[in-house]
Amino acid sequence: MKRELVFMIVSMVAVRMFAQLSLTDCYQMAHDNYPTIKQYGLIAQSRDYDVSNASKGYWPRIKVGASADAFTDLLRLPPTLQAIAGGEMKNRLLAADVQVNQLIYDGGGIAAGKRVVRARAEAESSAADVTLYDIRARVEQLFFGVLMLDAQIRRSKLLQDDLALGRKTVDGMLKGGVANQSDIDAVAVEQVKAEQRESGLRASRRAYLTMLGLFIGRELSDTTVLERPTETTEPTVMIVQRPELTAFAARQRLIDAQRQSLHTQFRPKLAAFGLAAYHSRMMHLMKNQLFAAGLTLSWDIAPFYTRRNDLRKLSVQQQQVDIDRETFLFNLGLQSASVNGTIQNLREMIAQDTRIIALRERIREKSMRRVQNGTETINEMLRDVNAVNEAQQQKDIHEIQLLEEIYKLKHIYNHE
């Protein structure tokens, strides 16, 4: 226990020498580094452009036109009327005109269109939120994977210390004629195996850190220290705050906005117009300029043809959203039950690990004394030393697994 305390103190001093990364830091850096984050700006720009275009529906429409026409005689005037009219009617016409139309009332179509644009942008943004939230689970897997390897490396170091102590004991016994060279070799083999295992663990840690670094957009070295979370209790209030629910609500609002937009298609539209035209005179009696102004009321009944199918289509989309939400919550409940069961099991295993370690340490101490007394072989002592280390390592692994499951449960409900 004293050696473990010294090792932990040395580790804490080493932690201060190198950069530390918390799980919260990794969340934020992975969020900022993931390419999906760029979609938010694009979605906002597209929304603003579409809303701006829709707002311009109330701007006056100006049309400029020109024409050159030829046609058959429209009137055949008797000579007496031709003299009054100043000659026969010409069958050619050159004209130019300017027409201005100003929408006064569109039945709410423009406002409904802007609501659809905003609702669609909100739905797209919510979908991006879901994608970014999923990154948290992948970051957690890598983060706790590194912590798991750190715990195993620490235990490997302690095992090597135990073996080094055992080596000194055997060396002393060799000098006293109680042990032989094969006993020294047996301890040396275990030392090499422990060093080999540590090398493999460090290689795995390096690979995990490389993957984590790619996610957070930062190069992580072997000296990078991950801060172990202190949370040891699972959430007590099981309120789902996942971004998927926000995304479902956004899809629902989009459907509602589209339904309102459909209703506006059946309303009449009122507009004012003004016209100024200049043309070559067909008869001397006619003026070659024309001015007109007035109001137009139009009502397009074409949307009635597809109204029923359009509403049915929106109803199908509504049902799909409801099914997706129900399926999501159902699966979430299954995941929660599974994780809660795992947490309970791990707590029981950790309590059992503590008892096993105490028993293994007592056995090891007795084994060391028997070896010194010459009543037990070195191999039997090494077996007991390894058994203690294995029991301690199992407890460390179970504690890291418990932390991971607690954070997995927090991820299920989106609890900070």
Residue 276 belongs to domain with CATH number: 1.20.1600.10
Q: What is the pLDDT of residue 82?
A: 54
Which has more confidence, 279 or 112? 112
Helices 2-17/109-175 angle, 10° precision? 130
- In a domain, residue 161? The reply is yes
Which has more confidence, 149 or 56? 149
Judged against a pLDDT cut of 60, whether residue 220 lies above it is answered with yes
Q: What is the pLDDT of residue 79?
A: 61
For 281-296, what is the mean pLDDT? 76
- In a domain, residue 72? The reply is yes
For 232-245, what is the mean pLDDT? 83
Query: pTM for the full model?
Result: 0.80
Residue with tokens 């109330």: 58
- In a domain, residue 5? The reply is no
- In a domain, residue 3? The reply is no
- In a domain, residue 263? The reply is yes
- C-alpha distances out from residue 396 to 43, 182, 385, 400, Å: 46, 33, 17, 6
With bands split at pLDDT 50, 70 and 90, how would you rate the model's confidence at 89?
low
Task: Answer whether 144's CB lies under 8 Å from 212's CB.
Answer: no
- In a domain, residue 11? The reply is no
Q: What is the pLDDT of residue 207?
A: 95
Q: Cα(108)–Cα(263) distance, rounded to whole angstroms? A: 9
Q: What is the pLDDT of residue 285?
A: 57
- In a domain, residue 57? The reply is yes
Mean pLDDT of the chain: 86
**Which range is least confidently modeled, 82-86, 152-156, 331-335, 338-342?**
82-86
Question: How many structural domains is the chain composed of?
Answer: 1
Q: What is the DSSP letter of 58?
A: G
With bands split at pLDDT 50, 70 and 90, how would you rate the model's confidence at 380?
confident
- In a domain, residue 181? The reply is yes
Helices 303-373/243-264 angle, 10° precision? 180
Q: For residue 219, what are the domain limits?
A: 23-413
Judged against a pLDDT cut of 80, whether residue 136 lies above it is answered with yes
With bands split at pLDDT 50, 70 and 90, how would you rate the model's confidence at 243?
very high
